[in-house]
Structure 1
Amino acid sequence: DTSCYLAKEAGRNRIHEHTTADQAVIQRLQEGNIISKIHTALKQEHFVCYAQKICDTTPNGGNECDTPNYEILIRLQDAKGQIHAPYTFLPAAERYKLAYKIDHWVIKKSLSQMASIQNKFGWISINLSGQTIAHEETYNVIVSAIKRSGMPADKLCFEITETAAITNPRIGLAFLNKLRELGCKVALDDFGTGLSSYEYLKKLPVDILKIDGQFIKNMLDDKLDLAMVKSINEIAHLMGKKTIGEFVENPEIFAKLNEIGIDYGQGYHLHKPCSVQSLIETYQASGAIQGV
């Protein structure tokens, strides 16, 4: 397909032998199209905030947990109304240094939306890329969004990956400490994937560990994964940190999280992501909020 495409681009009626360089050309062309869509989405509000519950694992938790927490996710809605998952555009955004612009948009938009139902959740969690952590305006964007929305800082949790935090350790540590001084929580995402995870855990100012979903989803059948989950949970609690188990895909996994003592669960068994707007409308329909 690649050879056919490039032969047509070169003027048709010719043979083109495929090389690895050709594939790189195609990738750049595809990414150029994606980048154009990202710029358009930022200008015309084509990005959409989604939310997924993070539920307490106690008997009162689960699908019907009274006061859930939410992770804020992002989707891109194209001109035809089709919704695109983040894996289709975030990698290109990272490579072309646009990730921080998307994160800043999510911070401002999600706070303005979720503030209207702030009495219905414990906290919301927002992902930050390494670019965003290092960007000089990020802290000011967060402070400004808090003031504009009226969202209390202690209802905000910012998720980072180990890689994002240690790309520039000095800047990363300073930024995370400022967030916590502001009153926000910090969560370390996909914990357990790095060989040096425990070493960095002692240095990073985080409140919550999100245990990598690859361990969670296989732990009922894999004794090693189960041992890893138990170990991470025990060490986190010894350090005074809360834990979240990702990829909760069935009731058996959720029950196991409760048995192990993990604090929260997240996954499709508990809640499928929905748009923040539809979440607000659900609360409105139930009479849970007024005047929104």
Structure 2
Amino acid sequence: MAQPVISSRTDLYYHEVLIRIRNKDGKLLFPDAFLPIAEQAGILAQLDMTVIEQTFRFIQSLDESKSESKFSINLAPRTLHHIYFIDHLTVLFKKYEISPGRIIFEIVETDIIDTKVAALKLEKMRSLGCKIAIDDFGTGCSSYSRLEEIEADILKIDGSFIRKILHDDLNHFLVRSFCTVAKIKKMQVVAEFVENEEIKQELIRIGVDWLQGYHTGKPVPIEEVIL
């Protein structure tokens, strides 16, 4: 699946790649139903590499008029810590002739196992030309301190803050403070769970750079993405 992330100021956008499993009855299973099982089985890294390769294969299939389209892919910290991850990623970029500048990798900072190792790997990915997004920001008690140790390009504010932004002063203040920190770090800000026009307009007023949610675009099968 893929969901658009739209600019709050221009007509630019990119898509986040989302994984789902369809069971025998045709029902879609969401990640919280199968990722814990994949983690217990020790196959998260293989799952992530499969998603990356399928995304690259889809990008390669696009015609020349869509050569600037960009996609973000979620990455489990355990995958990031895999000893051969950077080598495998480099091979896939070359195999499918994908410009690294078209790819954003999203990392949940609260799940990072070893900050020093993660910071080194993320810097190598950025040196390839990829962008790095810190996902679900604000949900962990160490969020701000992580930003001192990890260099990234995008900060994604967790949807739990966005949902309450119109009716809760504390959440409103926190979202504004996240935006301030991002600007200090020269990071772009993405707000998740933009569910109505009122929330969208308030986020634009605050200065959020990118918007993602059912109001701005629902997930669709990646083959149906209109670029």
Q: Secondary structure at the match of 2:18?
A: strand
Superposed displacement of residue 108, structure 1? 0.4
Matched, 1:75 2:29: no
User: What's 1:131 paired with?
Assistant: 78
Q: Equivalents in 2 of 1:121, 1:230: separation in Å?
A: 31
Matched, 1:149 2:96: yes
Superposed displacement of residue 78, structure 1? 3.1
Equivalent in 185, 188, 197 of residue 242 of structure 1: 188
How has the CA–CA distance of structure 1 residues 211 and 170 changed in structure 2, closer, same or farther, with 3 Å as cutoff? Answer: same
- Residue ranges of structure 1 left out of the alignment (5+ in a row): 1-49, 284-292
User: What's 2:6 paired with?
Assistant: 55
Q: Which deviates the most, 146-155 or 209-218?
A: 146-155
**CA RMSD in angstroms, aligned pairs only:** 1.6
User: What's 1:265 paired with?
Assistant: 211
For residues 1-292 of structure 1, what are the structure 2 equivalents within 5 Å?
Answer: 50-58=1-9, 60=10, 65=11, 67-117=12-62, 119=66, 122-165=69-112, 167-279=113-225, 282=226
Which of the pair has the greater relative contact order for Cα pairs under 8 Å at 6+ separation?
2
Letter of the aligned partner of 2:99 in structure 1?
Answer: P
CA deviations 1:151-180 (Å, max 9, x no partner) are 110111111011233x12232111111101
CA deviations 1:172-217 (Å, max 9, x no partner) are 1111111011010100001111122111101101111001111011
Q: Secondary structure at the match of 1:97?
A: coil
Q: Equivalents in 1 of 2:198, 2:59: separation in Å?
A: 31
Letter of the aligned partner of 1:99 in structure 2?
Answer: L
Superposed displacement of residue 114, structure 1? 2.2
Superposed displacement of residue 130, structure 1? 1.7
Kept in 2: contact 1:154–1:185 (CA 8 A):
yes
Kept in 2: contact 1:69–1:121 (CA 8 A):
no
- Number of residue pairs matched by the alignment: 225
How has the CA–CA distance of structure 1 residues 267 and 77 changed in structure 2, closer, same or farther, with 3 Å as cutoff? Answer: same
Letter of the aligned partner of 1:262 in structure 2?
Answer: V
Q: Secondary structure at the match of 1:71?
A: strand
Kept in 2: contact 1:244–1:262 (CA 8 A):
yes
Letter of the aligned partner of 1:54 in structure 2?
Answer: V
Letter of the aligned partner of 1:265 in structure 2?
Answer: L
User: What's 1:10 paired with?
Assistant: none
- Residue ranges of structure 2 left out of the alignment (5+ in a row): none
Q: Secondary structure at the match of 1:267?
A: coil
Q: Which deviates the most, 78-87 or 248-257?
A: 78-87
- Taking every aligned residue pair, what percent have the same amino acid on both sides? 35
Q: Which deviates the most, 129-138 or 112-121?
A: 112-121
Q: Secondary structure at the match of 2:90?
A: helix
Q: Secondary structure at the match of 1:89?
A: helix
How has the CA–CA distance of structure 1 residues 278 and 122 changed in structure 2, closer, same or farther, with 3 Å as cutoff? Answer: closer
Q: Equivalents in 1 of 2:120, 2:189: separation in Å?
A: 23
How has the CA–CA distance of structure 1 residues 224 and 120 changed in structure 2, closer, same or farther, with 3 Å as cutoff? Answer: farther
Kept in 1: contact 2:110–2:142 (CA 8 A):
no
Higher radius of gyration, 1 or 2: 1
Superposed displacement of residue 123, structure 1? 2.3
